Amino acid sequence: MPLAELTDFFIENGEKKFRAKQVYEWLWQKSARSFSEMTNLSKALRAKLEEDFLLTPIHADKVQHSNDGTIKTRFKLHDEHLIESVLIPVPSENRFTVCVSSQVGCSLTCSFCATGRMVRKRNLDAGEIYDQVSIVNEQSLEKFGHPLTNIVYMGMGEPLLAYKNVLKSVEHLTSPEGLNMSPKRITVSTAGIAKMIKRLADDGVKFNLALSLHAADDPKRNEIMPINEQNNLESLIDALKYFYKKTRNRITYEYIAFDHFNDSLEDAKALVKLCKHFPVKVNIIEYNPIDNAPFAKSGEDRLDKFARYLSQNDVQVTVRRSRGRDIDAACGQLANKE
């Protein structure tokens, strides 16, 4: 509920205007999950709020700890649906990242991703996305004595198909009345929906954008990502050019390396061409096996040659080693498994 509407409610009920700001701060700055926590309001007012409004916070249903320090949390929503978030700590780099979900399930059916095999039940609302960050931030403080430094929308679902709620969640996360995170520390990842990427540009977003690329030519991308049939590479590059021209925000290509599928020198050459249109960083990601998928992770030699070729051709490249694989928390593995 916007602050203006909340203010109207209090005025109409004979309360002081500032009460709305107090409640708003409890919800978005202090992450209160019940009216009873709002201790600077009278008991009568808290009872009135309880009567007139509903809070639907998410609750940790299961927490798993990986050998490498990664923590995966399965959350139960008010309607019994389940989603997952991951805390990825890198204390040596002072980086503590939360990977959040934006949908219950996913509708995109990418062949290498466990989430893509789930049915998309619904979009998460802004509060449910925000709650993931808030609760995982508490985990990070408790376990590592450090708040979150980065937020990535790379969990379950396609963020640009939950567009309005994702942007509203970012608004609360970056607001001084919310968690006051810098938008430069937030990255929204998409499998590639050209018209929505242009809409991000038109809406003047301040966060970073990542494209889950995973193949640098249309035939291969069509094979593993059905969305490419309606959003081919030409249309995506055109949309990303538009996004960069309007926002100057950082763009990243996420590229999972599959053994003998997209990790040859020819693939590297094709990828270099896609990196010439605007400044872009490439994150090469180790493939994480899922049940009944016909892929294997790229061998060390092939991966090194691939990355070296990019680097020699002036592409900024990072090879991301898998985190949380032993608890099914790594890229592409989120599927609410027991």
CA distances from 23 to 30, 128, 180, 267 (A): 10, 18, 17, 54
- What pLDDT, on a 0 to 100 scale, did the predictor assign at position 333? 53
Mean pLDDT rounded to a whole number for the chain: 93
Catalytic residues: 84, 331
Mean pLDDT calculated for residue range 64-78: 94
Give the CA count within 13 Å in the CB-facing half-sphere of 318.
Answer: 9
Which string of b and e fits 282-313 if b means at least 16 CB within 10 Å? Answer: bbbbbbbebeebebebbeeebbeebbebbeee
Closest CA to 103 of 180, 158, 168: 158
The per-residue pLDDT for range 37-57, each reduced to its tens digit, is 999 999 999 999 999 999 999
Give the pLDDT band of residue 335 (cuts 50, 70, 90): low
Taking only the tens place, the pLDDT of each residue in 149-183 is 999 999 999 999 999 999 999 999 999 989 999 99
Residue 248: both structure tokens together: 């100057």
Beta strands 122-123 and 103-104 are antiparallel
Instruction: Please state, in angstroms and rounded to a whole number, the distance separating the CA atoms of residues 19 and 22.
Output: 5
Report the pLDDT value the prediction gives residue 111, as an integer from 0 to 100: 86
Indicate if the pLDDT at residue 135 is higher than 70.
Answer: yes
Q: For 184-215, how does the pLDDT look when each residue is reduced to its tens digit (9 = 90+)?
A: 999 999 999 999 999 999 999 999 999 999 99
Q: What's the mean pLDDT in 132-152?
A: 97
Instruction: Please tell me what DSSP assigns to residue 291.
Output: T
- Short-list 197, 192, 203, 313, CA closest to 255: 192
140 Cβ contact list (under 8 Å, min separation 6): 87, 89, 96, 98, 146, 147, 148
Residue 309 CA to residue 118 CA, distance in Å, equals: 36
pLDDT, position 327? 64
Q: What is the pLDDT of residue 112?
A: 86
Give the mean pLDDT of 273-292: 90
Confidence check: pLDDT of 322 > 80: no
pLDDT over 70 percentage in the chain: 96
Instruction: Give the confidence band of 114 by pLDDT, cuts at 50, 70, 90.
Output: confident
At 233, the amino acid letter reads L
Residue 329's pLDDT is what? Answer: 59
pLDDT higher than 70, residue 316: yes
pLDDT score at 334: 55
Sign of CA dihedral 235, 241, 246, 248: positive
The pLDDT value given to residue 109: 85
Q: Rounded to an integer, what is the distance from CA 59 to the centroid of its chain?
A: 19
pLDDT tens digit sequence for 229-240: 999 999 999 999
| Structural domains of the chain, with CATH | 3-52 (1.10.150.530), 59-327 (3.20.20.70)
CA geometry: angle 22, 28, 32, nearest 5 deg: 80
Nearest to 116 by CA among 125, 106, 126, 124: 106
The percentage of residues in the chain with a pLDDT greater than 90, rounded to a whole number, is 85
Instruction: Write 15-20 long-range contacts (CB < 8 A, 24+).
Output: 15/45, 19/45
Q: Please tell me the distance from the alpha carbon of residue 208 to that of residue 260, in angstroms, as a whole number.
A: 31
Range 255-260 average pLDDT: 95
